[in-house]
Amino acid sequence: MTTPENSLNRLTAANLIVALVALFGGVVTGFFQALEHSGVNVYPSTPLVQSYYHSLTLHGVLNVLVWTTFFICGFVPFITTRALRIPLTSLGLAWGTFWLMTAGLVMAAIPLIGNAATVMFTFYPPLKAHWAFYVGLTLVVVGTWLVTLNLALTWRAWRRQNPGARTPLPAFMSLVTFAMWTIASLGIAAEMLLMLIPWSLGLIGGTDPLLARVLFWFTGHPIVYFWLLPAYISWYTLAPRQAGGKLFSDPLARTSFILFLVLSTPLGFHHQYTDPGIQVGWKLVHAFLTFAVFFPSLLTFFNVVASLESGARARGGRGWVAWFGKLPWGDPSLAAQVLAMLLFTFGGIGGLINASYNLNLVVHNTAWMVGHLHLTVGTAVTLTFMGVSYWLVPHLAGRALWSRRLALGQVWSWFIGMIIFSNTLHRLGLMGMPRRTMIGAASYVQPEWKALLPLVGIGGSILFASSMLYFLNLILTLTASRAPAPAVPEFAEALSGADHAPAILDRWRPWLALAVLLIAIAYGPTLVRLAATTPLDVPGMRVW
Ligand code: HAS
Ligand code: CU
């Protein structure tokens, strides 16, 4: 019999399948790139992947745009309905959304795989891709808005049945994530609809790289929190319980998410410090706002560590630091998340360096950035999602995880591989090695880079092996596992509960209004000036 619950399970599974297929393509191309940096050029013998830059575009798009987005669109509605204890308002809408996003993905994938959209995941003009690439990605974004709509309708239905009650924390966090993203994605939507799509179709003659970059980073910075916040949802609402403890503070957790809602978007210029044509005063404003959005992650650090500590102490942990060893390290789902947190601490420190204008001039466009993004989206997010899938996939499949030991090996090898890989790239960046460059073909490779480059290959190979263990375990779970799936982890209780949270934290309008106001201040003058004065006359290029 189809109940709403198993219909939602099928929807979650469908999203996860697309996500995992994308991740597979992403890790294979990533492996090729790591080999290239260490002197092994595989591209002459890979018929599907025609060049280093083709590979890099596939890697970026599949990992940061497709794997993340589809995983999130499966995981977050699952969490929301579990927390609210009601079904999604419209399963029809949800399936329509899934098929729209998948159709968009297929549309974008055809030119992408066919080497007609080798423009990196940032698709900066004047690089010009096939129009189907832009239209397809736009459909995926529109799909995410429909997820927002469905979550909002579901919450309204819950609110009608529960007037006056506090929104359960996991649902509150889910809604904030999608509300933030929906505002933030307006930049990329404008770039696509007003610039890239008409231009690639030949309806307008030229483009404007600076205006396009401003619109891109309007979305491109907050998109990193669209990836991160679902991982935070797991760290706050599931990991404390998985560790045998309680969430330290529910009100503090809500405060952190409200700060993300308000502060995530108005700071994209920290990706454009070196772009001419943006007044330096506005860059300074965006720098300060970047330091401000650092704060909710510090709140998260404090709250999550205190929560894990409560679990470890309940399990007999002692001392200031030694309790850490008493976490249930045998649980691959929790181990994945805690190791992801540890590396994210360094990703966060690197982020502060990136955000500091004068230090940014040293690291911008170098391999340092590649090190940074692999600690953040490549570990904090990806390793956490892997940890989540170690209970979510068994639940959806109705079969226990094939091997916990294999999963633990996978999690630790990701951690070790990433330490080698990311540390090396940070160091290479400080030595001036550029990112997004086929290093093996560069004429300016320095002797000190040569000494480190093999480590990129070694770290990358460990990461590749780790991801193969991950896929192997999931495939064997689906095909060979016979034991029934254990129960889904319950949400953590809070030491300091929702009723301690000020009521204003459960209201939407003031925070949404504040978010829009800050965006208008931070972006308004620059966007209006650029849009009013653009001649839109730069011709497109195909450099590959
Ligand atoms: Fe970033 C570039 C600044 C976070 C992703 N970033 C990128 C790019 C990507 C990316 C993909 O200001 C490259 C884009 C491109 O292609 O050009 N980033 C920041 C800052 C933060 C930050 C200030 N980034 C992220 C996250 C990402 C991500 C999250 C993905 C998910 N980033 C920048 C800047 C650039 C940039 C510039 C542009 C540079 C340039 O020149 O191009 C902050 O949000 C970071 C805050 C994080 C923390 C850490 C908190 C730690 C926690 C873990 C708790 C630990 C535990 C375990 C519990 C403050 C919550 C410990 C246990 C114990 C016992 C201690
Ligand atoms: Cu950013």
CA 513 – CA 505 distance, rounded (Å): 14
Asked if the peptide bond before residue 126 counts as cis, ω within 30 degrees of 0, the response is yes
Nearest atom (ligand 1) to Cα of 228: 31
Residue 323: DSSP 8-state: G
Rounded Cα gap, residues 313 and 307, in angstroms? 10
Residues within 5 A (CB) of ion ligand 2? 221
3-state secondary structure of 484: strand
What is the three-class DSSP state of 222?
A: helix
pLDDT for the residue 6: 83
The tokens for 203 are: 């309806």
Residue 367 CB less than 6 A away from ligand 1: no
Kind plus residue range of the DSSP H or E element containing 496: strand 494-496
Distance CA(278)–CA(282), nearest Å, equals 7
pLDDT at 36 (0 to 100): 98
**Structure token digits, residue 529:** 């000036």
Shortest-distance ligand to the CA of residue 272: 1
Pairing label, strands 247-249, 494-496: parallel
Report CA(531)–ligand 1 centroid distance (Å): 30
User: Tokens 């070196």 identify what position?
Assistant: 274
- Does the C-beta of 354 come closer than 6 Å to ligand 1? yes
E strand or H helix that includes residue 479: helix 447-479
What DSSP assignment string belongs to 265-324? STTGGGG-TT-TTS-HHHHHHHHHHHHHHHHHHHHHHHHHHHHHHHHHHHTT--TTTGGG
Task: Report the C-alpha gap between 329 and 39 in whole angstroms.
Answer: 37
Ranges of beta strands (E only) in 366-477 are none
Burial bucket for residue 3 (CB in 10 Å: 0-12, 13-18, 19+): exposed
The residue contributing the CA closest to ligand 1 atom 44 is: 294
Q: Of the residues 320, 354, 415, which should be mutated to test ligand 1's pocket, given the most ligand atoms within 8 Å of the CB? A: 354
* Beta carbons of 173 and 83 less than 8 angstroms apart: no
Q: What is the DSSP string of 44-57?
A: GG-SS--SHHHHHH
Q: Which residue has the tokens 């011709």?
A: 539
Residue of 344, 167, 159 lying closest to 250 (CA atoms): 167
Q: What is the pLDDT of residue 7?
A: 84
Cα(first)–Cα(last) distance of the chain, in Å?
53
Amino acid present at 326: K
Instruction: Count Cα neighbours of 389 within 13 Å in the Cβ-side half-sphere.
Output: 32
- pLDDT tens by residue, the chain, 544 residues: 567 778 899 999 999 999 999 999 999 999 999 999 999 999 999 999 999 999 999 999 999 999 999 999 999 999 999 999 999 999 999 999 999 999 999 999 999 999 999 999 999 999 999 999 999 999 999 999 999 999 999 999 999 999 989 999 999 999 999 999 999 999 999 999 999 999 999 999 999 999 999 999 999 999 999 999 999 999 999 999 999 999 999 999 999 999 999 999 999 999 999 999 999 999 999 999 999 999 999 999 999 999 999 999 999 999 999 999 999 999 999 999 999 999 999 999 999 999 999 999 999 999 999 999 999 999 999 999 999 999 999 999 999 999 999 999 999 999 999 999 999 999 999 999 999 999 999 999 999 999 999 999 999 999 999 999 999 999 999 999 999 999 999 999 999 888 888 889 989 999 999 999 999 999 999 999 999 999 999 999 999 9
- Nearest residue by C-alpha to atom 63 in ligand 1: 305
pLDDT of residue 161: 97
Q: Is the dihedral of CA 531, 533, 539, 542 positive or negative?
A: negative
- Residue 513, number of CB atoms within 10 A of its CB: 11
- Residue 249 pairs in a beta bridge with 496
* Separation of CA 313 and ligand 1 centre (Å): 29
| Rounded distance between C-alpha atoms, residue 428 and residue 447, angstroms | 11
Which amino acid, 150? Answer: N
CA 300, CA 281: separation in Å to the nearest integer?
30
Q: How far is the CA of 93 from the centre of ligand 2 (A)?
A: 32
Packing angle of the helix pair 91-113, 131-161 (nearest 10 deg): 160
Residue 153 exposure: Cα atoms within 13 Å on the Cβ side:
13
179 Cα to the center of ligand 2, angstroms: 18
Beta partners for residue 484, in sequence order? 399
Centroid of ligand 1 to alpha carbon of 372 (angstroms): 7
Give, in order, the Cα–Cα distances in Å from 149 to each of 89, 186, 369, 511.
10, 15, 34, 18
**In angstroms, what is the span from residue 274 Cα to ligand 1's centroid?**
19
Q: Ligand 1: which of 236, 256, 271 to mutate, most ligand atoms within 8 Å of CB?
A: 271
